[in-house]
Chain A
């Protein structure tokens, strides 16, 4: 049973609310004015405060003043006239709950219960020291020690099994759900988001967003970094070469080059693009036309991303959930295939691939789309040659 301070100017309303709150099991102390309510707070230390919003009593003022006097005591407002926008304004002022007119015992009981249960910061003067462990705890600890000792062999066997798998998983959920591409540059993990038409630079240590670059006139779906330039492909076709300035200004637009591009990689000399329609890898010379000088059939099912690791090309096959290592001289030849078991649960579809010098990173869009966040994985691949 909680003690409630009820502030209401009208005697009949105060009596009615006191009766309803009393029937719900609360002990109610009534006051007609703010000054009387402040005295009640000092005398009874109520668990909750209930105020009435009426033409002759502005609950917004009451809520503000009562919270100033007793900041940790929730204030519930009972409206005399149902008004949703007024209710929202009162909640923004600090009301824990707002109960609508006409007042019923059930609605009032629910509102008071919810306000009394709302989570908030826990304030305390001193930290409670932990209880001393009992004999039962010591006995349990000894049992656990022996169990751990005998379990070491099985744990080691399990570790060996884990190491034999394709990769060890680390992952983070992103604030958006529409990734298109992934790239790594100068210690930052970049994600292209087709929905917001922006690139996001994350700190790979904690996935904090460090930078956002928005393209109002383009939808970036592929991204690659060179030593002094950035390459992007647009959803509507075409590739752009950009400066590494604050807004990644485009210095060259190749509108007719590399149509249907889902992935881009730059090896320092040639630009490589993934054709999602023809399922081919194209090799381009970085001239005025971004001329295609060679084209190779993709040795997989569904290529979605490509990256250069300093020695050769790797691609991401979203249908087979695997990384494919290519022969740089003949990219239609797969030298190695590495399974990505992270995507086996079918919750995400891999769409982007990056290499940071030590690890592969992938990003997956949620399945079904728009339900849940995108997820970034950092893969530790055993035995990577």
Chain B
């Protein structure tokens, strides 16, 4: 079951403190319980660990750890990436919220 929203949801990107990188932002192009598609101007690379924060159906998800599976640059210079969530507990919560939103 798949549904599209009117607009891509915004997402904040945070990096591990030891990297001393400024936070970034972008949009979620796709969201599942275990993975996310992101479009962002922020430079990211494969296998990098990033913390995602976003909102879905009124529920806040803060600093979900995710690993970059692949990334490529589109025609506008944005990075389109697919990330895999690493926190199973939060994935489960996301799964519940997704199912609730999809079934409405």
Distance between B10 CB and nearest chain A CB, rounded to angstroms = 4
Complex interface: chain B residues within 8 A of A91 (CB): 10, 25, 27
Of chain A, the residue at the smallest CB distance from B88 is: A195
Known: A110-B77, A114-B78, A208-B1. A196 touches B12 (CB 8 A): no
Complex interface: chain B residues within 8 A of A109 (CB): 77
Complex interface: chain B residues within 8 A of A87 (CB): 10, 12, 25
Contact A208 B25 (CB under 8 A): no
Complex interface: chain A residues within 8 A of B55 (CB): 92
Of chain B, the residue at the smallest CB distance from A110 is: B77
State A177–B39 Cα separation when bound (angstroms): 24
**B36 touches A (CB below 8 Å):** no
Complex interface: chain B residues within 8 A of A82 (CB): 22
Contact B33 A212 (CB under 8 A): no
Distance between A377 CB and nearest chain B CB, rounded to angstroms = 15
State A82–B25 Cα separation when bound (angstroms): 11
**A189 touches B (CB below 8 Å):** no
**A336 touches B (CB below 8 Å):** no
**A327 touches B (CB below 8 Å):** no
State A110–B41 Cα separation when bound (angstroms): 8
Residue in A114, A121, A200 whose CB lies within 8 Å of B76:
A114
Complex interface: chain B residues within 8 A of A175 (CB): 1, 32-33, 95, 98-99, 102
Distance between B77 CB and nearest chain A CB, rounded to angstroms = 4
Complex interface: chain A residues within 8 A of B27 (CB): 91
State A198–B100 Cα separation when bound (angstroms): 13
State A92–B24 Cα separation when bound (angstroms): 15
Residue in A92, A174, A177, A196 whose CB lies within 8 Å of B34:
A177
Distance between B42 CB and nearest chain A CB, rounded to angstroms = 9
The prevalent SS among residues of B at the interface is: mixed
Contact B77 A106 (CB under 8 A): yes
Complex interface: chain A residues within 8 A of B34 (CB): 177, 370-371
State A208–B2 Cα separation when bound (angstroms): 10
Known: A84-B12, A88-B12, A373-B32. A195 touches B76 (CB 8 A): no
State A99–B78 Cα separation when bound (angstroms): 12
Contact B92 A196 (CB under 8 A): yes
Query: What band does the interface of chain A fall in when counting residues whose beta carbon is under 8 Å from B?
Result: 35 or more
Complex interface: chain B residues within 8 A of A198 (CB): 96
Q: Which A130-179 residues sit within 8 Å CB-CB of chain B?
A: 172-177
Contact A195 B41 (CB under 8 A): no
Contact A209 B25 (CB under 8 A): no
Complex interface: chain A residues within 8 A of B77 (CB): 106, 109-110, 113
Q: Which B60-78 residues sit within 8 Å CB-CB of chain A?
A: 75-78
State A207–B103 Cα separation when bound (angstroms): 10
Q: What string of 1s and 0s marks CB contacts (under 8 Å) between B1-39 and chain A?
A: 110001110111110000000111101000011110001
Complex interface: chain A residues within 8 A of B33 (CB): 175-177, 195
State A109–B32 Cα separation when bound (angstroms): 31
State A196–B91 Cα separation when bound (angstroms): 10
Q: What string of 1s and 0s marks CB contacts (under 8 Å) between A91-120 and chain B?
A: 110000011100000110111011001101
**A56 touches B (CB below 8 Å):** no
User: Told that A88-B12, A200-B99 touch, could you supply 12 new A-B pairs with CB distance under 8 A?
Assistant: A91-B27, A92-B10, A106-B77, A107-B41, A113-B77, A173-B2, A174-B1, A175-B98, A176-B95, A209-B99, A370-B34, A373-B32
Binding site for A on B (CB under 8 A): 1-2, 6-8, 10-14, 22-25, 27, 32-35, 39, 41, 53-55, 75-78, 84, 91-92, 95-96, 98-99, 102-103
Binding site for B on A (CB under 8 A): 82, 84-85, 87-88, 91-92, 98-100, 106-107, 109-111, 113-114, 117-118, 120-121, 172-177, 195-196, 198, 200, 207-209, 212, 370-371, 373
In the complex, the 4 A-B pairs of residues with the closest C-beta atoms, listed nearest first: A84-B23, A91-B10, A110-B77, A209-B103
Please list 5 pairs of residues, one from A and one from B, whose beta carbons are closer than 8 Å in the complex, sorted by A's number: A91-B27, A100-B41, A111-B41, A177-B32, A209-B99
